[in-house]
Amino acid sequence: MAGKSRANNKGAEAQVPTGDVRTVTGMGGETHQLASGDLPTLTSDQGVAIADNQNQLKAGPRGPVLLEDFHYREKIFRFDHERIPERVVHARGYGAHGTFELSESLSEYTTARVLTEVGEKVPMFVRFSTVLGNKGSRDLARDVRGFAVKFYTQEGNWDIVANNIPVFFIQDAIKFPDLIHAGKPAPDREWPQAQTAHDNFWDYISLTPESMHMIMWTMSDRTLPRSFRFMEGFGVHSFRLIDAEGRSTFVKFHFKPKLGLQSVLWNEAVKISGNDPDFHRRDLWDSIENGAFPQWDLGVQLFDEEQAASFDFDHLDSTKIVPEEIVPVRKIGTFTLDRLVDNFFHETEQVAFCTQNIVPGIAFSDDPLLHGRNFSYLDTQLKRLGSPNFTHIPINAPRVPVNNYHQDGHMNMRNPKGRVNYEPNSWGQGPRENPETGYKHYPAHVEGQKLKVRSDTFSDHYSQARLFYISQTPIEQKHIGDALTFELSKCERLDIRQRMVAHLRNIDEGLANTVAIGLRLPAMPEPAPAAQPTRTDLPASDALSIVKRKNASFEGRKIGILVADGTDAKLVTGLTAAIEAEKALFEIIAPHVGGAILNDGTLLEARQKIDGGPSVLYDAVAVLLSAEGATKLARDAAAQDFVRDAFGHLKFIAYTEASKPLFAKGGILEADFDGGFVELAKAKDAKAFVTACRDVRYWAREMEVDLDAD
Ligand code: HDD
């Protein structure tokens, strides 16, 4: 064999044209794609054209490989270094570009151009994320969602590094590493991944009473968002707005989704995680690609020092909200996400948010969590991106001129030009300070001893936790009880379960009771010692509930339509027209992805094969089977799951009479057809179904399908 140059008998020069690419089969039978038409020639990083991207350089066809092959070495060297450290928190994220437009000027309060120039279009980038899971974990973990926003303003970059929850677990940044260590996988076993249902997390939380308000939020449906498009965002901390005279007004930033709020159920989240771990990123990608650009209003809560002093909580404490009923949220503008990234790594992975990125006219409050964050974000970017020059990466670079004497460092793209790299200088070159337009820190009066203490005004840990709980509808309260029971049932240690229930007694006795019964605790523990008694007179705040803020439309939601051979074509046309009229979306699901032959002989292509399109991926479903289709699908486990889950997850269900054998096999009998079912006998019935879907779920059914409801 030695000296033979062909591994098989394929011809060396057989050319197979495929589109713009000419394909040539090489000596070893491998495929070479030749540049032709508009396609560029493959090159090395040094710009040298590459002839063979499939074979290493060898001494003879079977001979040892030669180190001399600089192309091979460069390719593998680049590959070996592809990974950068993932974010220590918020590793799994997804981003998109957009534009912010102000509709109401805040010139009375601030000089920041981004908040004063009505109609000016400000480019921006948003990255949504989960917190605890690693980069490859799933989208539907029960977790807080990050909502980090970068505005490329004409006065420099402004970041709001927000979450979808308006409060945080801890009051002081020095606790952050412990909080995250406790939540992440345990250091010995490295599990559980992307979840808080384990001893370490609840051990830490039960020893940290200040986290109780946040716990009410994280155990609510807020941590199971249906998609990024249906989430609120909150800047959490108070910031300051500074006007032209140097006067300060406190501000809290809110993002309110135009499509309304929506979450999934826990059992649904578990199943979505298996079926489509990329559920949220796919949703964002698909909506932007289809031109259904998601939008959020930017809202502000504004209050002055005097008003702040009148609150019965300290607004500098990040475990507190300022209820919207006390200080309403003023909508001052809207942002639209309308452009996908060209490259995930370039943009979404390399984007570097820093809470310290603010512009003239905006300043920090004295929130100790915020100041701790200001150090952490800058520091982490150096570790992650490897150089203080991370601002030279296009996604991080301001869209205004950058002029300074910073220089050198790894990967520098932008050293100062000319001889002068210092200031002051007498060369008449280089940038200078500008006391008129430059950033001025707010000259807050500060006095005091240096102490490692927490203010007494931060010591009420339960009143707002209770406020959140009593503001929910009964069904939402039940979900909080269910979530706590589930999470604590995963704790091996009884004392941790007991310690948590002791805290719940300070929030709501009913909730503590539900969880104690759910866990079958041997006895009700004493309430946890509290520095301040819980206020039981706070009025409920409807803004805190998802269900109370009902949607006016089903826009942006997706209906799964199950069809099979023999399905009535007119029903499908009627339903899809009604869905489109609502600006909602649909997917056809069938036994074969190639489609189903409808009763008029047409072939309806499917988007999903039945076991690839379970009902958990849809907001509502339609089961439009003929007698023939129903008989066939009734034998299929995936089809049975489809109807069983749609029912169990309280979805609105459109059906044909002929589909009933499938429902029966899924355990849904005639008597179970409740107000959430709409029969589609004729095409015109579709409108009533889509209108019913605006309620998103048929909540009344939950009492029928859940043991915990007893
Ligand atoms: Fe943080 C990332 C939000 C407290 C330290 N955080 C990070 C991201 C978001 C938040 C959305 C992802 C940014 C991105 O998409 O790149 N973090 C919050 C909110 C907090 C909060 C709303 C409380 C109000 N964070 C917090 C504290 C510390 C950090 C108290 C440390 C003292 N956070 C970080 C970090 C991360 C981060 C380690 C990891 C990656 C990064 O910054 O860029 O610096």
Instruction: Write down the architecture of domain 465-544 according to CATH.
Output: Up-down Bundle (1.20)
pLDDT at residue 21 in the model: 62
* C-alpha of residue 178 to centroid of ligand 1, in Å: 14
Spacing of C-alpha 206 from chain mean position: 27
Q: What is the CATH number of domain 10-80?
A: 4.10.91.20
Q: With 0-12 CB in 10 A as exposed, 13-18 as middle and 19+ as buried, what is 591?
A: buried
Tell me the two tokens of residue 8.
């098989």
Q: With 0-12 CB in 10 A as exposed, 13-18 as middle and 19+ as buried, what is 696?
A: buried
Whether 15 shows a pLDDT value over 70: the answer reads no
Q: How far is residue 242 from each of residues 109, 110, 564, measured CA to CA in Å?
A: 6, 5, 63
pLDDT at residue 659 in the model: 98
Whether 488 shows a pLDDT value over 70: the answer reads yes
Lay out the sheet containing 558-562: strands in order across: 608-609, 585-590, 558-562, 620-623, 653-655, 677-679
- Per mean pLDDT, which range of 2-6, 660-664, 685-689, 705-709 is the poorest? 2-6
At 692, the amino acid letter reads A
| Close Cβ partners of 51 (under 8 Å, ≥ 6 residues apart) | none
Give the closest residue (by CA) to ligand 1 atom 26: 373
At 359, the amino acid letter reads V
User: Alpha-carbon distance 95 to 285, whole Å?
Assistant: 9
> Which atom of ligand 1 approaches the CA of 237 most closely?
24
pLDDT at residue 4 in the model: 39
Q: Residue 30 — pLDDT band, cuts 50, 70, 90?
A: confident
Residue stretches of the annotated binding site: 87, 127, 176, 373, 377, 384
Give the closest residue (by CA) to ligand 1 atom 12: 90
pLDDT at residue 32 in the model: 74
698 or 24, which is more confident? 698
Q: How far is residue 205 from each of residues 218, 495, 514, measured CA to CA in Å?
A: 12, 13, 19
> Which atom of ligand 1 approaches the CA of 163 most closely?
22
Sketch the domain layout of the chain as residue ranges. 10-80, 93-392, 465-544, 558-709
Tell me the two tokens of residue 248.
């300060």
Whether 18 shows a pLDDT value over 60: the answer reads no
Mean per-residue pLDDT for 441-459?
Answer: 95
Q: Residue 708 — pLDDT band, cuts 50, 70, 90?
A: low
In the numeric block, the tokens 């579709």 are attached to 686
Dump pLDDT digits (tens) for 159-182.
999 999 999 999 999 999 999 999
Mean per-residue pLDDT for 19-45?
Answer: 76
Strand locations in 501-612, DSSP E? Answer: 558-562, 585-590, 596-597, 603-604, 608-609
Taking the model in full, what pTM does it have? 0.95
pLDDT at residue 705 in the model: 83
> Which atom of ligand 1 approaches the CA of 372 most closely?
32
Of 84, 87, 321, best ligand 1 pocket probe by most atoms within 8 Å of the beta carbon: 87
**C-alpha R_g of the chain:** 29
HSE, CB side, 13 Å, CA atoms: give it for residue 569: 11
Residues 516, 520, 526, CA angle at the centre, nearest 5°?
A: 40
* C-alpha of residue 81 to centroid of ligand 1, in Å: 25
Whether 14 shows a pLDDT value over 70: the answer reads no
Whether 154 shows a pLDDT value over 60: the answer reads yes
- Residue 428 is given by DSSP the state S
Task: Report the first-to-last Cα separation within the chain, whole angstroms.
Answer: 78
- Residue 362 is given by DSSP the state E
Q: What is the CATH number of domain 558-709?
A: 3.40.50.880
| Close Cβ partners of 377 (under 8 Å, ≥ 6 residues apart) | 161, 352, 353, 354, 355, 356
Cite the active site residues. 90, 163
- Nearest Cα to 597, choosing from 644, 631, 573, 563? 563
Residues 572, 578, 580, CA angle at the centre, nearest 5°?
A: 100
CB atoms within 10 A of CB 556: 24
Tell me the two tokens of residue 628.
């023939």
Whether 1 shows a pLDDT value over 50: the answer reads no
Q: What is the CATH number of domain 93-392?
A: 2.40.180.10
Of 126, 144, 376, best ligand 1 pocket probe by most atoms within 8 Å of the beta carbon: 376
Q: Are 517 and 443 in contact (CB under 8 A)?
A: no
Of 373, 378, 382, 383, best ligand 1 pocket probe by most atoms within 8 Å of the beta carbon: 373
Whether 13 shows a pLDDT value over 80: the answer reads no
User: Alpha-carbon distance 619 to 553, whole Å?
Assistant: 13
Dump pLDDT digits (tens) for 367-396.
999 999 999 999 999 999 999 999 999 999
Whether 614 shows a pLDDT value over 80: the answer reads yes
Residues 369, 373, 378, CA angle at the centre, nearest 5°?
A: 170
User: Alpha-carbon distance 651 to 621, whole Å?
Assistant: 7
User: Alpha-carbon distance 699 to 478, whole Å?
Assistant: 12
703 or 461, which is more confident? 461
Residue stretches of the annotated binding site for heme: 87, 127, 176, 373, 377, 384
> Which atom of ligand 1 approaches the CA of 351 most closely?
16
Whether 7 shows a pLDDT value over 50: the answer reads no
Dihedral, CA atoms, 491, 494, 495, 498, nearest 10 degrees?
Answer: 90
Which residues have C-beta atoms less than 6 Å from ligand 1? Answer: 87-90, 93, 127, 129, 146, 148, 161-163, 168, 173, 176, 236, 318, 351, 353, 369, 372-373, 376-377, 380
Angle between helices 199-206 and 176-183 (to 10 degrees): 150
Q: With 0-12 CB in 10 A as exposed, 13-18 as middle and 19+ as buried, what is 587?
A: middle
pLDDT at residue 43 in the model: 95
Dump pLDDT digits (tens) for 644-657.
999 999 999 999 99
Average pLDDT, the chain: 94
pLDDT at residue 9 in the model: 35
Whether 97 shows a pLDDT value over 50: the answer reads yes
Dump pLDDT digits (tens) for 60-69.
999 899 999 9
